[in-house]
């Protein structure tokens, strides 16, 4: 059973509807309840199996079997499904939304979500898209935990003209869950996340795919000797296939832009290796080591090695800070 509602100040929203109870949806449910950020939680998921599991875990006050039923009467609706499914969910819930309700999401891409969801939403509801930059390579309602958002960023990308009070309430909600909130233009969000999250995932998927193919065709011992950098890539490459397929399909331009730059830089490194240009390699590796140090200094990572064995699975979108980075 999940912890009881915290004795908190007045809830920020009365009724929270969570649509899609996977890693992110279930973490929001756990954190919102632990912090007393809402009074009531109603949840739904696509499959009866997940809905049953949400009941067993006691993640919501009410579990309903349709997205429309979840949205009816809610003050805050958070759509926590893969990016490619958000438009259809918005169309489904639109007729049931009450006037003044706030609709949000957690998608890892923002321009496409606004493109797909906004046209369906009635004028009298407030749309405040959000992206909590926190996660792990795990999926499903069992994978979530209340501390996931602690000291992580949550980026809000409200379209121009969004009601400032609605944005402020969503900010307070995420802050109550432990996140640091930043407001950003959606296109800027997509470019930034393309290089910090999306391209790194693509590199991981690619290198693990290449190694697996190599093992197959050359009988080399890639998996057995995976203790090097490869093992860290396999963790990232274990991330949810549906989620990541949708990220690449829906952030195409920004990812292609960043991949173009990446390929140019890779070509320069390839040349340095071929020409025996140690200075170029050494200078880059020194600069990148400095970047790692600065990330640790701003509290977005710990210096301890964890070898991918953190208690809740390691983060894919952002690291888990102390004290949550419990190694084994």
Footprint of ligand NAP on this chain (CB under 6 A)? 20-25, 45-47, 50, 80-83, 85, 89, 106-108, 132, 135, 139-140, 240, 243, 316-317
Give whichever of 20 and 178 is closer to ligand NAP, judged by the CB atom.
Answer: 20
**With respect to ligand NAP, which residue has the nearer C-beta, 157 or 316?**
316
Nearest approach, Cβ of 132 to ligand NAP (angstroms)? Answer: 5
- What phi, psi does 98 have (nearest 5°)? -85, 155
What is the smallest separation between the CB atom of 46 and ligand NAP, expressed in angstroms? Answer: 4
Q: Which is nearer to ligand NAP, 104 or 316 (CB)?
A: 316
d(C-alpha 125, C-alpha 79), whole Å:
14
| CA torsion, ordered 284, 285, 290, 296, to nearest 10 deg | 130
Run of H or E residues at 18:
strand 13-19
Give the distance between the most distant pair of CA atoms in the chain: 66
Cβ proximity to ligand NAP, 86 vs 222, nearer residue: 86
Least distance CB 84 / ligand NAP (angstroms):
7
Min. distance of Cβ 198 from ligand NAP in angstroms?
A: 10
Rounded Cα distance between 57 and 34, Å, is 14
- Nearest approach, Cβ of 214 to ligand NAP (angstroms)? 28
Edge-to-edge order in the sheet of strand 130-133: 130-133, 153-156, 180-183
Q: Smallest gap, in angstroms, from Cβ of residue 90 to ligand NAP? A: 11
Specify the residue, 75 or 246, whose C-beta has the smaller distance to ligand NAP: 246
Nearer to ligand NAP, 79 or 222 (CB): 79
Distance of alpha carbon 130 from alpha carbon 257, whole angstroms: 23
Report the alpha-carbon distance of residue 163 to residue 288 in Å, rounded.
Answer: 41
What number of other Cβ atoms are within 10 A of residue 246's Cβ?
21
134: preceding bond cis by omega (within 30 degrees): no
Taking the C-alpha atoms of residue 75 and residue 51, their distance in angstroms, rounded to an integer, is 21
Across the strands, what pairs with 126? 102
């Amino acid at each position: 059973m999940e912890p009881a509602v915290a004795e908190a100040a007045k809830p920020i929203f009365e009724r929270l509807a969570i649509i899609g109870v996977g890693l992110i949806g279930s973490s929001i449910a756990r954190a919102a309840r632990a912090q007393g950020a809402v009074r009531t939680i109603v949840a739904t998921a696509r499959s009866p199996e997940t809905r049953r599991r949400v009941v067993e875990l006691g993640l919501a006050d009410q579990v309903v079997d349709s997205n429309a039923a979840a949205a009816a009467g809610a003050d805050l609706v958070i759509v926590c499904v893969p990016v490619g499914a958000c438009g259809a969910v918005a169309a489904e819930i639109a007729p049931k939304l009450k006037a003044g309700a706030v609709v949000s999401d957690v998608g890892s891409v923002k321009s496409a979500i606004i493109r797909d969801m906004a046209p369906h939403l009635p004028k009298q509801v407030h749309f405040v898209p959000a992206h909590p930059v926190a996660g792990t390579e795990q999926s499903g309602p069992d994978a979530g935990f209340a501390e996931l958002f602690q000291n992580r960023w949550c980026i809000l990308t409200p379209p121009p003209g969004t009601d400032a009070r609605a944005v402020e309430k969503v900010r307070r909600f995420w802050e109550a869950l432990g996140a640091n909130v930043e407001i950003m233009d959606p296109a800027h969000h997509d470019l930034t996340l393309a290089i910090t999250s999306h391209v790194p995932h693509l590199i991981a998927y690619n290198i693990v795919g290449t190694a697996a193919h190599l093992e197959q065709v050359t009988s080399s011992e890639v998996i057995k000797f995976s203790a090097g950098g490869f093992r860290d890539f396999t963790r990232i490459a274990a991330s949810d296939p549906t989620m990541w397929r949708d990220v690449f399909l829906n952030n195409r331009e920004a990812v292609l832009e960043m991949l173009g730059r990446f390929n140019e830089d890779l070509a320069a490194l390839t040349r340095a290796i071929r020409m025996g240009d140690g200075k170029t390699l050494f200078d880059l590796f020194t600069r990148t080591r400095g970047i790692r140090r600065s990330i640790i200094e701003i509290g977005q990572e710990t210096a301890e090695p964890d070898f991918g064995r953190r208690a809740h699975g390691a983060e894919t979108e952002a690291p888990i800070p102390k004290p949550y980075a419990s190694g084994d």
